[in-house]
C-alpha cells in the first residue's frame, strides 16, 4: 500500500482500525514532498516538526491523523502566511482561521502552506511572488490558479487533500488542470474568518481532494455557522452521508448552450459530452438550457472583484505589519514605495482597475452597472433551476496551458475562468470532477453546478459518476 495515494476515507479507516500509524503516514508524505516537490514546487513552507507533533497527538476526530496542505491565504496561528506576496513575507497571524480551528478539532495534521497566485489573483500560479508551481501531469505546464499549489500537491501525492479558496474559479479550474476534485461551496456555507480577503462578496474556502467522497468528508468538518463572519449562513454543519446519498436517477441536468460555443477546446467538449452520456446512463435526463447573460460574466467579475480588491488591499501600507520599503523621504513616499515594491504586477493591475471603477464619475458607469448585471446572471440560474436539478458544463475551456503562454495577454488569461466565474457571481455551489484526458495526457474537468445550499445534489452526482468511471484513479508519473 503506497501511503501517499490513500484517499482521506481510506486513511481514516486504516488509522481508526490500527492498521496505520499517524506518524508513519505523515512521515511517508513528508518523504514524498522531499522527493518530488523540487520538481512540482507546490509548497511555500513545509512544517515537518509541526506535522509530526500533530500526528503524535492525533486521537479521535473525523480527520485524526490525516495530513493536509493549506493554501497560503488562510491564517494559521504562529506560522508564516504570505498570500504568496512579498508584502506579507514574514507575517505570522496571531489567530487561526475558523476552518483551521475546525480541522484542528477534527484531528488533522498540517503539512505546510502551499503556493498560489499572489493574493489569489490569477489563473496559473505564475503570479506568485516567489515561484511558479508546475503541473504534475506535465511539468512544462501550469497547474491552474489561484489554488495551483493546493491542486498540484494533491495530484502529486504530496498530501491527501488540501484547502483552497475560490473567488472566480480558483478551486475548480486548478482541480480540472491537475485531474483532481475541487469543490466551491455555496457562499456563506464555510466561514471566511481568517481567509485573507481578495473580493469579500465572492471568496469562498473549499476542499481539493482525489474523490468526491473525500470532498464531502472535509466539507462536513469545515461547514457551519460562524458568528465571527457576518456573511456566514445560519446553517449547522453538513453531514457527509447526507451529501452523498441523494438518488441521481430521474434528475434533470441542464447543458447550457453558452458554455459550448467558440473558444472551447474540441477534446474538452468531447470529454464533457461523454460524461453527460455517462450521467444519462445513471438515469439522469440531460437537456439544453440557456444562461443568456453568461457572455457578460467576465466583464462583470473583473469590475466587482477588482473594486473589492482595491478596498481590501488598501490595508497593506507598511505601517502595522508586512513589508516596508527601506528608504523613503516621508509618510507618503513610504506608502508609494512599499506598495510599488511589495505588490506584483497583476495585483497592482487589479488595484488600479478597481480604484478606477470606484472613482467619482465612473462608479455608476462601471461598478453599479456590474452589480446590476450580476443580479441578472443570478436570475438566469434561478430560472434554470426551476426545471433542472443541476447544470453540467466544462470546468475550463482548455486543458492546462504551457508556462508563459498567456502572461503577456491578461485578457486571454482572464478567459481561462469564463466557465467558473458565474458561479461566484451567483453565490451557488459547484464541483469539478475529472472526466477524461486529452491525447497529450492532460486532465479534463466536468463542472457540476447546483442550487444555493444544495451541495448534496452536486456531490451525489459527482460521487455516482466516480462510481462508474476511473479517471480520478489515474496518477501522474513524476
Residues annotated as catalytic are 71, 146, 170
Is the bond preceding residue 146 a cis peptide, omega within 30 degrees? yes
**Integer Rg of the chain from CA:** 21
Q: Which three cell numbers stand for residue 85?
A: 506576496
Residue with cell 436539478: 389
Other CB atoms within 10 Å distance of the CB of residue 59: 9
Residue with cell 457578460: 296
Q: Are 42 and 72 in contact (CB under 8 A)?
A: no
Q: Are 324 and 340 in contact (CB under 8 A)?
A: no
Q: Are 37 and 136 in contact (CB under 8 A)?
A: no
Q: Where are the extended beta strands (E) located within 382-457?
A: 390-394, 430-437, 443-450
Closest by CA to 220, choosing from 46, 42, 66, is: 66
Length of the chain: 478
Closest by CA to 108, choosing from 75, 62, 44, 45, is: 62
CA distance 173 to 423: 12
Q: Where are the extended beta strands (E) located within 9-66?
A: 43-46
Amino acid at each position: 500500500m503506497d501511503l501517499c495515494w490513500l484517499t482521506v476515507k481510506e486513511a481514516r479507516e486504516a488509522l481508526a482500525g490500527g492498521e496505520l500509524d499517524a506518524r508513519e503516514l505523515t512521515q511517508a508524505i513528508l518523504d514524498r514532498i522531499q522527493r518530488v516537490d523540487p520538481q512540482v514546487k507546490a509548497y511555500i513552507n513545509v512544517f515537518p516538526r509541526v506535522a509530526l507533533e500533530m500526528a503524535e497527538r492525533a486521537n479521535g476526530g473525523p480527520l485524526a491523523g490525516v495530513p493536509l496542505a493549506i493554501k497560503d491565504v488562510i491564517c494559521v496561528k504562529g506560522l508564516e502566511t504570505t498570500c504568496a506576496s512579498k508584502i506579507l513575507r514574514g507575517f505570522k497571524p496571531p489567530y487561526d482561521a475558523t476552518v483551521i480551528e475546525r480541522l484542528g478539532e477534527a484531528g488533522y495534521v498540517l503539512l505546510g502552506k502551499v503556493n498560489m497566485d499572489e493574493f489569489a489573483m490569477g489563473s496559473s500560479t505564475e503570479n506568485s511572488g516567489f515561484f511558479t508551481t508546475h503541473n504534475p501531469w506535465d511539468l512544462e505546464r501550469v497547474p491552474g490558479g489561484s489554488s495551483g499549489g493546493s491542486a498540484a500537491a494533491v495530484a502529486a501525492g504530496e498530501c491527501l487533500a488540501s484547502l483552497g479558496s475560490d473567488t472566480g474559479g480558483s478551486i475548480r479550474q486548478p482541480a480540472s488542470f491537475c485531474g483532481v476534485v475541487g469543490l466551491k461551496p455555496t457562499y456563506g456555507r464555510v466561514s471566511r474568518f481568517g481567509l485573507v480577503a481578495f473580493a469579500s462578496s465572492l471568496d469562498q474556502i473549499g476542499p481539493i481532494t482525489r474523490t468526491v467522497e473525500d470532498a464531502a468528508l472535509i466539507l462536513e468538518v469545515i461547514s457551519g455557522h460562524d458568528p465571527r463572519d457576518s456573511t456566514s449562513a445560519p446553517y449547522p454543519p453538513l453531514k457527509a452521508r447526507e451529501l452523498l446519498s441523494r438518488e441521481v436517477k430521474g434528475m434533470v441536468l441542464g447543458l447550457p448552450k453558452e458554455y459550448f460555443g467558440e473558444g472551447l477546446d474540441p477534446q474538452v467538449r468531447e470529454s464533457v459530452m461523454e460524461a453527460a452520456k455517462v450521467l444519462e446512463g445513471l438515469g439522469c435526463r440531460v437537456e439544453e438550457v440557456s444562461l443568456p447573460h453568461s457572455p457578460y460574466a467576465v466583464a462583470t467579475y473583473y469590475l466587482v472583484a477588482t473594486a473589492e480588491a482595491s478596498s481590501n488591499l488598501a490595508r497593506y501600507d507598511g505601517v502595522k505589519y508586512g513589508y516596508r520599503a527601506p528608504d523613503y523621504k516621508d509618510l507618503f513616499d513610504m506608502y508609494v514605495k512599499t506598495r510599488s515594491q511589495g505588490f506584483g504586477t497583476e495585483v497592482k493591475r487589479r488595484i488600479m482597475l478597481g480604484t478606477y471603477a470606484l472613482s467619482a464619475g465612473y462608479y455608476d458607469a462601471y461598478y453599479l452597472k456590474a452589480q446590476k448585471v450580476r443580479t441578472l446572471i443570478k436570475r438566469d440560474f434561478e430560472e434554470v433551476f426551476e426545471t433542472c436539478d443541476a447544470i453540467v458544463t466544462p470546468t475550463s475551456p482548455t486543458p492546462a496551458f504551457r508556462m508563459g503562454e498567456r502572461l503577456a495577454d491578461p485578457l486571454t488569461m482572464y478567459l481561462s475562468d469564463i466557465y467558473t466565474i458565474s458561479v461566484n457571481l451567483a453565490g451557488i455551489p459547484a464541483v469539478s470532477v475529472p472526466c477524461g484526458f486529452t491525447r497529450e495526457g492532460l486532465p479534463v474537468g466536468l463542472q457540476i453546478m447546483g442550487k444555493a445550499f444544495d451541495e448534496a445534489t452536486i456531490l451525489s452526482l459527482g460521487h455516482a459518476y466516480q462510481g462508474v468511471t476511473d479517471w480520478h484513479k489515474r496518477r501522474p508519473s513524476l
